[in-house]
Amino acid sequence: MNHFGKSIFLWGLISLVGYGVYQFLLTDPNFPNPMILWSVLTVIGVAAMLKWVPNAMKLDVVKVWLLISVLGMVYHWLAVWKIVPLFFKAWGYWALLMAIGFLATGYTWKPRSKFYYGVGVLNAIAFVLIAFFPSVVGMYGSALLAIVTGVPLLYDGWKTK
């Protein structure tokens, strides 16, 4: 696994852990706000990406994910503090951001474009289900995101040479 692979694999783990914790522990009234965990995971993922990916700031794909992760977290925190509106439930908001990020990755990273376009479409479908057909997804929107985001990233990270 090369440096790209390590970074992609880590983001897969972050997606599985973050969305998994959000899904299964949020029902516990003693569980603190999951945004704190997500913020820590995002900082870890961004720091690892910048450290592991050679010439990271020269790559459009890294810029896409910096924008998605940092601005996404900032906006979500502002929504938590009720400074800005969150137009969809948190799961829908992140599904939309992940869809945009993966589609932009497909556009900017030509050697892997078909794979990332596919993952973008999966996240777009998850967004539509979560935002417009909540009865289909029920309380499992976060689990759906763990699967459509985390599993493909783990696979791609593992396969990247």
Q: Is 86 helix (H, G, I), strand (E, B) or coil?
A: coil
Q: What is the model's pTM?
A: 0.90
Domain limits, the chain: 3-159
> What pLDDT shows up at residue 150?
95
> What pLDDT shows up at residue 28?
66
Tens digit of each residue's pLDDT (9 = 90 or more) over 125-138: 999 999 999 888 88
| Mean pLDDT, rounded, for 37-59 | 89
| Mean pLDDT, rounded, for 79-84 | 90
pLDDT classification of 147: cutoffs 50, 70, 90: very high
Computed over every residue of the chain, the mean pLDDT equals: 89
Torsion of CA 72, 75, 81, 86, to 10 degrees: -90
Cα(12)–Cα(154) distance, rounded to whole angstroms? 5
